[in-house]
A and B are shown apart, each in its own frame.
Chain A
Amino acid sequence: MIPFRIRLERRLERHWWQTAATPLLSILAALAAGAIFLLIEGFNPLTVYRELFEASFTSRYGITDSLTIAVPLILTGLAAAVAFRMNLFNIGAEGQLYLGAIFGSWAGLAIAADLPTILGVAAVLIAGAVGGALWAAPAAVFKAYFGTSEIITTLMLTFIALFLMRYLIFGSKSYWRDPEVTNFPQGKKIPPTARFELWSDTRLHWGLVAAIGIALLVWAIIRFTSLGFDMNVVGSSQNAARYAGIPVRRTVIVALLMSGALGGLAGATEVAGRAYALDPNGLELGLGFTGIVVAALARYNPFAIILVATFLGGLRNAGVALQGLPGERVPVEVSLMLQGVILLFAIGGEIFSHYRLSMTRLNTVAAA
């Protein structure tokens, strides 16, 4: 038979460049695979990629639009990262985002009108964080006390949140609904004091700064606080946590609440920066799930998340922008497919940072 045995062996050392190389190589491999696919379909891959790149990263509106989409992706990416690095699989950032939008728009409508802008926006954000954390709380409690799978509970809660949000705008004349617009249901606009200012004439808003700031804050918490330290220990070895006297249950709950709050902030920034209202159609974009993709590609590192979110935001944006561009008629779906392929390659490549291939000659194993 085969004279060699190929095995995966655990690596003992990991250089920092190896950690960064894997996602980069995966992206390159995915682009190569994509290029082959495009060739088969009769497109010129270089032209396609160039147009994609231009649409998102070289023109003024392109970059700003990419960054605008990146804002919630940074936050949902952080939400996923905080939980996933502890093996807590909160896949409900999508629903936590919706709740954040609900709570945030309420705060904007109810209390921001008489406040200075900085406080008005802050109110929206804080309310959004609270909403998201609240939505993660059931999953957190059930997991910590009953060991219930957080994967299922957060997923279920996402759908409940979706219907709740739709109900508030489409299904009822709730506080969130704009009574003056009668032909189609729409959310009431929040006052200007609750909105992020726009950057000159683009769609980019100061929420980007907030998102980056929050990423820094998360990084700082994980790196410099005892809470972050406890989370690191619990995520690596629960035995060690118990040995050290770290309360495992409490840490798990706090981590999931934090994750939920970040998802809620994503919804809040969308309200305060883009939609200015509770807008289900504008929020149901799968931002929560894409955030998981961002986190995985970025290896749960807050700084990398900012970069990856921008990259994926650009890809998304390109898909839309391409439709209006002259030239090569590139199908819009290519960008979505590329996202998926890049992720698949990244996931597959992930293993090579922990393991390496070793080939051993099969000698006289059988004759003992």
Chain B
Amino acid sequence: MVTVGALLVAFFAYQLVFTNVLGARSQKAAEPALQQRYATIETVVADTIPVTPPTTVTMPEGTSTTTQVVEAVRYTEPTPEAGTPFGEIEIPSIGLDKVLFEGVDVGTLKKGPGHMPWTPLPGQPGNAVISGHRTTYGAPFFDLDKLENGDQIIVTTALGKSVYEVSRTVIVAPTDVWVTEEMQGAWLTLTTCNPKYSARERLIVQASLVEGPNFLYVETQRQRGLQGAS
């Protein structure tokens, strides 16, 4: 009985304390490689589509110029190598700020939230999927259930900042891969275990792009789609 008790205490200490120390260490260790990626990666213009009618865009604070945009541009960045850091995810409403890694294999998710390689990178059109631990290895998505519609999720990559707004939260089975399927527009899907301390289900948070380097492209594409449908 004493041995079983000691083993249980050791197990929970390992899972809820030791793995979180490892997770925090991996996050810290990833910073230099991430900064190097930001400094060396060149973004590429992948596509342009005409904006009809031309849209006037006010430049950021500090400048008074306005620019008439006649073309919406889609910028891309090179696909990161498996297991390497490529961006950051911030969710101010739950105090989350973590480095993102490429891949959702067991080893990569121990370092931090991971991007599913067969989905578009965050900031790109389509459905970018990111998975993360709920209670162990830094527990990046511990408070994901507290997100409400309209909460902002900010993803920074070599492209720049892409801002998403939460639009729905669902609980699904671990095999419900439909949540990763391609979607019209630009979406970010976060997946984690549910409930806390169980892998029985998955908590899914989906958010749509509201600001970022590719926002005008996505919005123009959406409007063209609507025009084509009517």
The answer to whether A and B come from one shared complex is no
Residues of A in contact with B (beta carbons under 8 Å apart): none
